[in-house]
Amino acid sequence: MVMLCGCVLMASAQVEDRDRSKYAVNNFADDDKYTMFQPYETVTVEEPKGRKVKNIIFMIGDGMGLEQISAAWVSNGGKLNLDNFSKTGLQRTYSANKLVTDSAAAGTALATGHKTNNGMISMTPDAEIVKSLAEEAMEKGKRTGAAVTCRVNDATPSVFFSHSISRNSQEDIAAQMAESGVYFLSGGGEKYWTKRKDGRDLTAEIQKKGYSFASTKDELMAVEQGPVVALMAEKDLKPALDRGDLLPASVTKALQLLDNKNGFFLMIEGSMIDDGGHDNKAGHTMEEIFDFDRTLGIVLEWAEKDGETLVIVTADHATGGMTLLGGSIQKQKIEVNFSTKGHNGIVLPVFAWGPHSEDFVGFYENTELSDRIRALIK
Task: Specify whether 103 is catalytic.
Answer: yes
299-303 CB contacts, 8 Å cutoff, 24+ apart: 299/57, 299/59, 299/251, 299/255, 299/268, 300/43, 300/45, 300/81, 300/84, 300/353, 301/43, 301/45, 302/255, 303/45, 303/48, 303/55, 303/57, 303/353, 303/354
Q: Would you tell me how many other CB atoms lie within 10 Å of the CB of residue 24? A: 17
Q: Would you tell me how many other CB atoms lie within 10 Å of the CB of residue 210? A: 8
Catalytic hit among 21, 95, 103, 164: 103
Active site residues: 103
